[in-house]
Amino acid sequence: QKWVMATGNAGKVKELSAMLTPLNVDIRVQSEFDVPEVAETGTTFVENAIIKARHASRITGLPVIADDSGLAVDALGGAPGIYSSRYAGENATDADNVQKLLGALEGQTNRQARFICVLVWMRHGDDPTPVIAQGQWQGLITQQPSGDGGFGYDPVFRVASHQCTAAELEARLKNQLSHRAQALQQLLPQLEAALG
Ligand code: ITT
């Protein structure tokens, strides 16, 4: 069994690789196959995950797992949402996005937010029954960044249960708690059923 991970995000690759180890599947990254970037033209996480999975699967001819995720902040009406990776502009770094977020929330007392992750797995590019799962992770946006683990908005995402930011969690712990971990937990039983 060989699958491709349809993502160019190194943080996702690291987390998904660790979480998928027990499956005993040979998981490859899409960069090995020169999969070009595809425009994420969907209006939902589900649509964008399907677009990325289908694209990579058509090019590689292999089963694919894709991840579309983001941060939804209550006081910003759910922004940056599906635009999380380019919140501060097309070539924004994680640090740029974090700064833009802290600026947008300046003086705001409602710091409630959640990470959302949709995982899609499909057998081939024309698979009419892709396997889809979602996970969410509730937290609070801090006043300043702290910690250097994880990626993206982790340094400003406070995990109430552990009284620290997601970037201060041990990688293993983040992989048990996160939106991505919760999506994977939903995905696994469906995958087992689909794979027989
Ligand atoms: P691919 O499309 O190639 O997978 P991407 O980074 O463009 O990579 P998305 O469009 O799904 O992927 O955007 C996800 C963004 O949401 C990501 O860049 C982070 O800013 C944020 N994000 C998602 N999961 C996160 C996590 O676990 N911790 C922190 N930030 C996260």
Confidence of residue 196 (pLDDT cuts 50, 70, 90): confident
Q: Give the residue, by CA position, lying nearest to ligand 1 atom 11.
A: 68
**Residue 114 annotated as binding?**
no
**Residue 180 annotated as binding?**
yes
pLDDT at 134: 98
Whether the pLDDT of residue 153 is over 90: the answer is yes
Closest CA to 8 of 73, 72, 52, 58: 52
**Residue 171 annotated as binding?**
no
| CATH of span 2-195 | 3.90.950.10
What does the domain layout of the chain look like in residue ranges? 2-195
- Would you name the residues annotated as active-site residues? 68
Could you tell me if the CB of 182 is within 6 A of ligand 1?
no
Q: Average pLDDT for residues 82-91, to the nearest whole number?
A: 97
Q: Average pLDDT for residues 54-60, to the nearest whole number?
A: 98
Whether the pLDDT of residue 61 is over 80: the answer is yes
Mutation test of ligand 1: which of 4, 68, 69 has the most ligand atoms closer than 8 Å to its C-beta? 69
pLDDT per residue as tens digits for the range 96-131: 999 999 999 999 999 999 999 999 999 999 999 999
Closest CA to 134 of 39, 90, 76, 69: 69
Confidence of residue 68 (pLDDT cuts 50, 70, 90): very high
Confidence of residue 28 (pLDDT cuts 50, 70, 90): very high
Confidence of residue 24 (pLDDT cuts 50, 70, 90): confident
Burial of 193 (0-12, 13-18, 19+ CB in 10 A): exposed
Q: Where are the beta strands (DSSP E) in 35-102?
A: 64-73
